[in-house]
Structure 1
Amino acid sequence: MADQQHQERCAFFLKRKQRFCKLIPGPGKKFCGEHANFAPEDETGAGRKRVNCPLDPNHTCYEDQLKKHLKKCNSRQKPSPLYIQRGVNSGLSCGQCKEEDAKISHHSMSTEELMSFVERVRTAYKGSVLDIPEAVLSHQGMKAMLEDPDNGASALKHLKQQASLIGHLDHLDLLKSDVCFIEFGAGRGRLSHYVQMCLPEQAASHFIVIDRANTKHKFDKNIRRGEKGPDFERLKVDIEDLNLGLVPSMAEHKGPVAAISKHLCGAATDLTLRCLIETLHCKSSRNSSKEVFTSSSTSETASRQHPVSDNIAQESNTTEKQLVDGPASPIIRDTEENRDDLEDGRQKEVSTARTDNSSPPSKRLKEEDAQKTSQVECILIALCCHHRCTWTSYVGKGFFTSIGFTEEDFHLLRSMSSWATCGFARGQTKNAGGNEEEVKENSEEEGEEEKYEQSKAAAIWTVEEREEIGRQCKRLLDQGRLWYLQQCDFNTQLVHYVEPDVSLENIAIVATRKKPTTTT
């Protein structure tokens, strides 16, 4: 029986995998369609020749069927949906070309220059960043999974992070009907799956998961639950190119929107914030996100004039009840003046970002329909990989200018942010139970740390001091993101959403839309 099954398999031997191809060939053939070009002429048929597909040379087809094959080949270029607009969230101005980010590192600095720059970092940190409270939450719906004895150390750490993020959503009164949950950098969509599990049974919600990569073992079916689950869609698109306001389901959704992500790496966080603020029409007309403070003499005032939150805790041991005052605030309706401003911006954006209209007519969304999309009620993002931030995409340029920092200083901060996990890179916490995000980030930073150990700066600070400097660099980068959201009528704060022994990247941005002021 085993020999018969082996004979039914393709006869092509895969050298790299040291086994035969597992595909089943057609009747009377020894090779499958993928490897049919290796078959002898008597098998392929007299006069028939197989050629490489011009769209993808990794597969072949019969030469006399090439024209027919090109019409149905999976590698053919398909019309892009209207919501894909190249570089719409890149941060580039109209007409600018994307350039490779400058490679500026603290390794090029002398000891004196490095010490002077660190003092500037410490001064800016003290003047701009408030105490970050601990807000380690959980949710009853995650209790059974957290207590599962079959969980390994790594799985348990991820579950604790996901449970805390879901606890924050519950605290903001967002685990209810009519909420659209958008997960950025979703990967398999596990966080959305757990959010769906914790929703009330009859909650009519909507889920959108966004990732640019094809991922195996996705949780999409778990979220859908056949016909019993919520409305669900997966968008395979780079966040840099995503115009959320032109996603058809967003035009139909009238309820609040909650944007979530667990460990959104580097520049992806800035792309996400710009995507939410500038393509979903929730930017305030009176507070431009591109505002820049040009006077260095006002740096201290600029860093203090936008409080991190209306009710932010002043002590690091603040309890979870002090996180946000009450449930999520109601949606602010656009005024006619706001809509006119947004329409003008939309027309300019579409004309520069997309010149074709290749989507099928039934799939196109009219521009005026995009103006009626709902607004972001909450942004909850667990941060990581600050060394992957880029100046072009960074949303906090105005904040950096206000505290007297430049683009070159940004690159130095980005480089030094890896110091926050230098203890990990030394192998202090690298084990089988480590978080995959930390392994990914710190494996790339080990080369940086090796260079650092051989530099003059190694004699200046201890590992603990260097970790603290790295954390301050990260928080300054995050403060620029808070500044950006504050310009757009959001209450914002940073929280420690899990303990450091669960994840070294244990900071999350919590942003909620400000309640509209009533005039009497």
Structure 2
Amino acid sequence: MLPIVQRRLQSTVATPVKRSNTSLRGVLLGFFAGVSITGFGAYYYLLDEYKSSSNAVVSDLRTDTQYCYNHLPQGELFSKTKNGKTVTRVPCPLDPSHTVWSDKLGRHLKTCNTLRKKLEFESNVSKFPWLVVDFNVQAESALENSPLDYAEFAAFVRRFSDAFKQLYSADLEMSQIDYKYGLEERMNELSNRKHVTQQASLIGHMAHANLLSDGAVYVEFGCGRGEFARYLLRALDTDPGMVAGDKQVLLIDRQSPRMKFDTKMKEEHARGAVCVTRLKTDIKDLDLATAVRSLENPGKVVGFSKHLCGTATDLTLRCLLNAQRDPEFQFSGFLVAMCCRHACKYNWLLEESRAYLKENFGIGQQEFVYLSKMACWATSGVRPGMSENDGADHFTGLNLKQRTEIGLQARRAIDESRVYAMQQRGLSAKLFNYVSPDVSMENSCMLIKNI
């Protein structure tokens, strides 16, 4: 009996089946095919939803308007009927610069970006002693510009140009420095050397003015990602004429952009350690003396900025002067490449700047509106395919070449008023062109030193 039982048991044992590679490939192909088909289906579904939503938004807009959705003017002109009721655009109470449909106002107030920023700012004011509301503008809100009188504007252009030619007989000095230390690698990598050429000249001027020294606190205003500060630190590391041990960098910007260089600055150094501190604030609210005092090793402040736009330059000058009222604050100098004079605010100019413009050009609040708009003409001149004589149908009767010249005059007048203001405050100040116009049309620079 035993042999028979053994044979039956053996017959019930399953023989292992060998799976071929072909069946495995079939499983994988089937899986990927299913995922792909599902993905395409989801893509076209979302695309249809997007088109439907976009069409719904577009249907809310008038086809004859030049305004974007969030900035439609208020009033009956921009209205619609919804559920038998008329709804209109109304200004957002938190930020009147944009409007919202009246029936959605309650919901909007809970999600408006302005509310989030306001709450964040109020929280930061309570946490950081260097953040003081309107510290550098003395609670002076920026004045609103009145409507333009184009006949008066055209007459002012000619009066201003005549006065300018009598006051300034020579062009600004051209002083471009081809500084190499810390920038060689970038010079070799880039085909477009516009930015690195500007950085090289600015750092070179700081070096020649003896602003780069051991123990300084380097403050970049309007720093963005901090690229300029990064290459300044490289210069301090590689220039054999520098004595630079531990270095401190203070970055100032009201935004917090992506792809910042803060970490790289701490890692890329050959001499000593690097301490990088970033403050997210508008310059008008910055108590610089308190901010520097809160650093690990406060030292002499060297400020710098590449293209500090419009009124930010004037706010920075105010910021530096206010900081000097603190007996512990040490100021060495400030180098700034300026731009965007059209964004300047008359009452945020230094008092001495306003006096300079009034005395030399008869410029008050309304005339400054004209002057700031004229400054735009310096960088909107002749383009490829155009002639210097084009554009004579302008309200001033001036062609492109003539308006470009007057734009340069307006730009210089604003900058010269800043130089005058700093000189009146007991500082050394000089205005010059730091690169040629073919590198950057915004090529004016101001160097301020404590004497």
Taking structure 1 as the reference length, what is the TM-score of the superposition? Answer: 0.58
Higher Cα radius of gyration: 2
- Cα distance in 2 for partners of 1:473, 1:463 equals 15
Partner of 1:502: 439
Q: Is 1:412–2:370 an aligned residue pair?
A: yes
Contact 1:399 1:480 in 2 (8 A): yes
**Cα 1:219–1:453 shift into 2, 3 Å:** farther
What is the aligned length? 343
Deviation string, structure 1 residues 173-225 (Cα, Å, up to 9, x no partner): 22221111110000000000000000046532211011011201001011111
Matched residue, 2:338: 383
Contact 2:230 2:261 in 1 (8 A): yes
Amino acid at match of 2:347: T
5+ unaligned residues in a row in structure 2: which ranges?
A: 1-27, 51-106, 113-118, 239-243
SS at match of 1:498: coil
* Corresponding residue of 2:130: 83
Deviation of 1:248 after TM superposition, in Å, equals: 5.0
> How far did residue 126 of structure 1 move?
3.4
| Structure-2 change in CA distance of 1:104 and 1:386 (3 Å) | farther
Report if aligned partners of 2:435, 2:443 keep a CA contact under 8 Å in 1. Answer: yes
Superposed displacement of residue 466, structure 1? 1.2
Question: Residue 409 of structure 1: SS of its match in structure 2?
Answer: helix
Partner secondary structure for residue 423 of structure 1: coil
Distance in 2, matches of 1:236 and 1:477, equals 28
Matched with 1:114 is 154
Cα distance per residue 1:469-493 (max 9 Å; x no partner):
0000011111111111112211111
Residue pair 1:129, 1:476 contacting (<8 A) in 2 also: no
Confirm or deny: 8 A CA contact 2:250 2:277 kept in the other structure. yes
Give the alignment's TM-score, normalised by structure 2.
0.67
The match for 1:198 among 235, 259, 271 is 235
1:492 pairs, out of 429, 432, 447, with 429
Equivalent position of 1:351 in the other structure: none
By how many angstroms is 1:15 displaced?
4.6
CA shift in 2, pair 1:464/1:183, >3 Å:
same
Q: In structure 2, do the counterparts of structure 1 residues 234 and 453 end up closer, same or farther at CA, with 3 Å as the change threshold?
A: farther
1:137 aligns with 2:177: yes
Once the two structures are superposed, the pairs formed by residues 444-483 of structure 1 within 5 Å of their partners are 455-457=394-396, 460-483=397-420
- Residues in 2 aligned to 1:145 and 1:129: alpha-carbon distance in whole angstroms: 41
Match of 2:287 in 1: 243
Deviation at 1:116, TM superposition (A): 5.1
Distance 1:170 1:275, change over 3 A: same
Question: 1:251·1:373 contact (CA, 8 Å) conserved in 2?
Answer: no
Counterpart among 327, 342, 349 of residue 371 in structure 1: 327
1:158 matched residue in structure 2: 195
Separation in structure 2 between the aligned mates of residue 422 and residue 121 of structure 1, nearest angstrom: 18
Contact 2:176/2:201, CA 8 A, preserved across alignment: yes
- For 2:157 and 2:172, the matched residues in 1 are separated by 23
Cα distance change, pair 74–259 in 1 and its aligned pair in 2 (3 A): closer
How far residue 456 of structure 1 moved from its aligned partner, in angstroms, is 3.3
Q: Deviations over 1:44-64 (max 9, x none)?
A: xxxxxxxxx999759xxxxxx
CA contact (8 A) 1:250 1:373 kept: no
1:102 to 145, 149, 153: 145
Preserved contact between residue 146 and residue 160 of structure 1 (Cα < 8 Å): no
- What is the aligned partner in structure 2 of residue 186 from structure 1? 223
| 1:273 paired residue number | 317
* % identity of equivalent residues: 27
Say if 1:252 and 1:373, in contact at 8 Å, map to a contact too: no
Structure of higher RCO (CA pairs closer than 8 Å, 6+ residues apart): 1
Please show how residues 168-187 of structure 1 align to structure 2 within 5 Å.
168-187=205-224
Q: Aligned pair 1:207/2:162, yes or no?
A: no
Q: Is 1:513 aligned to residue 450 of structure 2?
A: yes
- Normalized per residue, the structure richer in helix is 2
Tell me, in whole angstroms, the C-alpha distance in 1 between the residues paired with 2:213 and 2:337.
Answer: 22
2:359 aligned partner, one-letter code: S
1:259 aligns with 303
* C-alpha contact (below 8 Å) 2:337/2:443 kept by paired residues: yes
Aligned to 2:55: none
Structure 1: gaps (5+ residues): 20-52, 59-72, 282-341, 343-369, 430-449, 515-520
